[in-house]
Amino acid sequence: MIRILVTEAAIDLAAELEGLERAGGGAVASFTGLVRDDGGVEELFLEHYPGATDEALAKLAAEAENRWSLAAATVIHRVGAMTPGERIVFVGTAAAHRSAALDACAFLIDRLKTDAPFWKRETRGQDARWVGERESDRHAADRWKRP
Amino acid sequence: MIRILVTEAAIDLAAELEGLERAGGGAVASFTGLVRDDGGVEELFLEHYPGATDEALAKLAAEAENRWSLAAATVIHRVGAMTPGERIVFVGTAAAHRSAALDACAFLIDRLKTDAPFWKRETRGQDARWVGERESDRHAADRWKRP
Amino acid sequence: MAAVDLLYFAWVRESIGIGHERATPPAEVADVAGLIDWLAARGGGYAEALADKTRLRAAVDQLFVPLDASIAGAREIALFPPVTGG
Amino acid sequence: MAAVDLLYFAWVRESIGIGHERATPPAEVADVAGLIDWLAARGGGYAEALADKTRLRAAVDQLFVPLDASIAGAREIALFPPVTGG
């Protein structure tokens, strides 16, 4: 059971986790990313590639479901304007075994960072700037490549 | 900020995650273990060593907090009688970086399985039996040992 | 080649000033890199956004591709900076 | 040695029939394994629960210890199966 959502609305963590719990795996792992204040950020704006985003996330979720025999996988990404403390991204997995749920959750957030077409712009006062690529994100995504 | 709880009450996932989010790390990871039906289990009873449980969990949480520079760590374990679908255990971590939150979360649940004095008894009809040690749990815990 | 939808995102979109246009590249434009050079030659915001190819990524028909990927038969080509979601 | 609190958990507790007792092992009982043998010699549920040491784990004063750990000065000794929480 795969659930993909790209939305301007706030992420309802409790509802999402309950959905994963009902999938019947017994082990549920989740990752939530929040907007950070990072030196006075007032607004974080998330742009995306509407035609391609859902498909990129669904592809990652299907890969994870397959590789770790998941009972369920959920990937939700906010777009539009947000303020510090708000949830940007939620990844949740349900599986029969905890290592499958945990590894698949880490895989999904690592790969989402490099494979899904989202871009962040931070606004501090009058200064708006697009966030640059992080080398560490590429390394994190690479470790999931299989021989 | 470490929160340890051993309780007969249901685990309030939403409240626990919001507490972790407020710690200000930006990245929150969680793991929830649920009672599984496993071939007709009607009741799962969790026994623990009251004097030693809190301390064992606090020690693991402190080790994780230290090793991954966590903003917060929460470990909650149910004791007493439960039915399939209920939450047995919750582990949550908050950190500045996602890999720290995710790794610390996996560490905590892996080590809890081998280092904290809890015992499970499953009841199926008239048959009540204590769950046996799992070799795979010991391997999972061992991988966090450092040279 | 036929007309193609061009999409721009993030600072590429902001520099160029629009997020979407249709264009018909000349036949000698064979790959994404060639398309970028052809667009940059328009000058202004295009030149500014597209001058440094190491800062650019692309998708052809919604699939991420390297800049030497062919654009033959493409209906939609997107140009953008490295992604920074999550 | 002095009186010590003995705690039993899970099927060890169920076989022995009680979860807690105070006892004063003789001076020659030096380690956890020796304590187990001394208790097993009582027969009945003790013998049944404590016959196979490979199935037993122990804590001395609430710290997990191997079965060859000394019990000198211990105030509380717990005997139980491998843990299965989480």
pLDDT tens for A30-86 read: 999 999 988 899 999 999 999 899 999 999 999 999 999 999 999 999 999 999 999
DSSP code of residue C55: G
Per-residue pLDDT, B138: 85
pLDDT of residue B56: 95
Kindly report the backbone phi and psi dihedral angles of residue A17, in degrees, each rounded to the nearest multiple of 5, phi listed first: -70, -35
DSSP state letters, chain B: -EEEEEESSPP-HHHHHHHHHHTT-SEEEEEEEE---TTT--EEEEEE-HHHHHHHHHHHHHHHHHHTT-SEEEEEEE-EEE-TTSEEEEEEEEESSHHHHHHHHHHHHHHHHHHS-EEEEEEETTEEEEPPP-HHHHHHHHTT---
Specify the pLDDT at position A138. Answer: 85
**Is A77 in Cβ contact with C84 (below 8 Å)?**
no
Residue ranges for chain D with pLDDT beneath 50: none
User: Considering the domain boundaries, does residue D50 fall inside one?
Assistant: yes
3-state SS record for chain D: CCCEEEEECHHHHHHHCCCEEEECCCCCCCEHHHHHHHHHCCCHHHHHHHCCHHHCEEEECCEEECCCCECCCCCEEEEECCCCCC
CATH number for D65: 3.10.20.30
Tell me if C86 and A116 make a contact (CB, 8 A cut-off).
Answer: yes
Closest-CA distance, A52 to chain B, in angstroms, reads 25
Strands C20-23 and C4-8: antiparallel
In the structure, do chain D and chain B come into contact, i.e. share 3 or more CB pairs under 8 Å? yes
Question: Mean per-residue pLDDT for B6-16?
Answer: 96
Q: What is the dihedral of CA A115, C81, C53, C4, to 10 degrees?
A: 80
Taking residues B56-74, what's their average pLDDT? 97
Judge whether B13 and A29 are in contact, CB under 8 Å: no
- Which domains, from first to last, does chain A contain? 2-128 (3.90.1170.40)
Name chain D contacts of B131, Cβ cutoff 8 Å: 84
Q: Do A112 and C85 touch (CB under 8 A)?
A: yes
At residue C20, the 3 state secondary structure works out as: strand
Burial class, D75, CB count within 10 angstroms (exposed 0-12 / middle 13-18 / buried 19+): exposed
- Note the pLDDT of residue A146: 74
Residue D40 counted as domain residue: yes
Split into its structural domains, chain C has a count of: 1
- Residues in chain A closer than 8 A to B28 (CB atoms): 31-34
* φ, ψ of residue A30 in degrees (nearest 5): -145, 155
What are chain C's partners, defined as 3 or more CB pairs within 8 angstroms? A
Candidate from A51, A116, A119 with C-beta closest to C10: A119
Cα–Cα distances in angstroms (integers) from residue A127 to residues A49, A122, B44, B142, in the given order? 24, 8, 57, 48
| Residue among C9, C82, C85 whose CB faces A77 most closely | C85
pLDDT score at B147: 62
pLDDT, greater one: A133 or C75: C75
pLDDT exceeds cutoff 70 at B82: yes
Contact B118 D85 (CB under 8 A): yes
Q: Which chains touch B (3 or more CB pairs under 8 A)?
A: A, D
Q: What angle do CA D57, D63, D65 make, to 5 degrees?
A: 45
Query: φ, ψ for residue B106 (rounded to 5)?
Result: -65, -45
Structural domain harbouring C55: 4-80
Residue D86 included in any domain: no
**A10: DSSP letter:** P
Does residue A101 belong to the interface with chain B, where contact is any CB pair within 8 Å? yes
Q: What is the pLDDT of residue A51?
A: 87
For residue D85, being part of any structural domain is answered with no
- Predicted confidence (pLDDT) at residue A129 exceeds the cutoff of 70: yes
Please answer yes or no on whether C84 and A51 come within 8 Å at the CB atom.
Answer: no
Q: A56 in contact with B at a CB cutoff of 8 Å?
A: no
Query: Is residue A21 within 8 Å of B35, Cβ to Cβ?
Result: no
D71 vs B107, B109, D5, D31, D75, CA distance in Å?
31, 30, 12, 5, 9
Closest chain B residue to D59 measured between Cα atoms? Answer: B52
Q: How many whole angstroms separate alpha carbon B101 and alpha carbon B67? A: 11
Q: How far apart are CA C49 and CA C55, in angstroms?
A: 9
Q: What is the pLDDT of residues B84-115, one digit of tens each?
A: 999 999 999 999 999 999 999 999 999 999 99
Residue C69 lies in a domain: yes
Pairing of strands D20-23, D4-8: antiparallel
Residue C86, domain member (yes or no)? no
Residue B136: is its pLDDT beyond 90?
no
Mean confidence (pLDDT) of chain A:
95
Q: Judge whether residue A147 has pLDDT over 70.
A: no
Q: What is the pLDDT along chain C (86 residues), one digit of tens a residue?
A: 689 999 999 999 999 999 999 999 999 999 999 999 999 999 999 999 999 999 999 999 999 999 999 999 999 999 999 999 99
Which pLDDT band, with edges at 50, 70 and 90, does A9 fall under?
Answer: very high
Confidence label for B145 from pLDDT (cuts 50, 70 and 90)? confident
Task: Give the A window 20-49 contacts with C, CB below 8 Å.
Answer: 33, 46-49
Tokens representing A44 are: 């974080």
What integer pLDDT is reported at residue A134 of this predicted model? 84
User: Using one digit for the tens of pLDDT, what is the confidence trace for B17-26?
Assistant: 999 999 988 9
Spell out the residues 6+ positions from residue C44 whose beta carbon is closer than 8 angstroms to its own: none
**Residues of C whose CB is below 8 A from A132:** 82, 84
Residue B51 has pLDDT above 90, yes or no: no
**Distance in Å, alpha carbon of C40 to nearest chain A alpha carbon:** 21
Residue D65 included in any domain: yes
Q: Do chains A and B touch (3 or more CB pairs under 8 A)?
A: yes
Gap from C9 CA to chain A (nearest CA, Å)? 7
User: In whole angstroms, what is the distance from residue B78 CA to residue B8 CA?
Assistant: 5
In Å, how far is C7's CA from the nearest CA of chain A?
9
Which candidate from A47, A115, A131 shows the least CB-CB separation from C9?
Answer: A47
Integer distance in angstroms from the first to the last C-alpha of chain C?
37
Question: Is position D63 within any domain?
Answer: yes
Put simply, whether D80 touches B (Cβ < 8 Å) is yes
Output the CA–CA distances (angstroms, integers) from residue B31 to A140, B25, B134, D35, D47, in the order listed: 20, 17, 19, 39, 40
